[in-house]
Amino acid sequence: MKRQTIEPTRSQLRISDLKARGPVGSRLMNVKIPAHLHDAIGKLARTLNASKTAVVIALLNEGLLRVTKR
């Protein structure tokens, strides 16, 4: 019997979730970021075997969580 895992929604996605998650639908948001930040996000995405979009969303969620805990 296959074991099902419940994947977090985008609003609940954390960096730790990226290692074992499947694809999730998304919407496009065009933002400009410094080149060094883009490169770092790409490197992290490759390391975690995740999309850049997932990494950005997880980073934003982590930041929002820290702000709300203050």
Sign of CA dihedral 10, 12, 16, 20: negative
- What DSSP string describes 39-58? HHHHHHHHHHT--HHHHHHH
Does residue 8 form part of some domain?
no
How many C-beta atoms surround the C-beta of residue 50 within 10 A? 19
1 pLDDT above the threshold of 50: no
Asked, for residue 44, whether it belongs to a domain, the answer is yes
Q: Is residue 51 part of a domain?
A: yes
As for how many domains the chain has, the answer is: 1
In a domain, 47, yes or no: yes
- Residue 48: closest CA among 19, 22, 24: 19
Of 13 and 49, which is predicted with more confidence?
49
Q: Looking at the domain assignment, is residue 70 inside a domain?
A: yes
56 within some domain: yes
pTM value?
Answer: 0.61
Give residue 48's pLDDT band: very low, low, confident or very high (50, 70, 90): very high
- Residues 4-14 pLDDT 10s: 455 567 777 78
In a domain, 14, yes or no: no
Q: What is the pLDDT of residues 53-66, one digit of tens each?
A: 889 989 998 998 88
Structural domain boundaries enclosing 45: 32-70
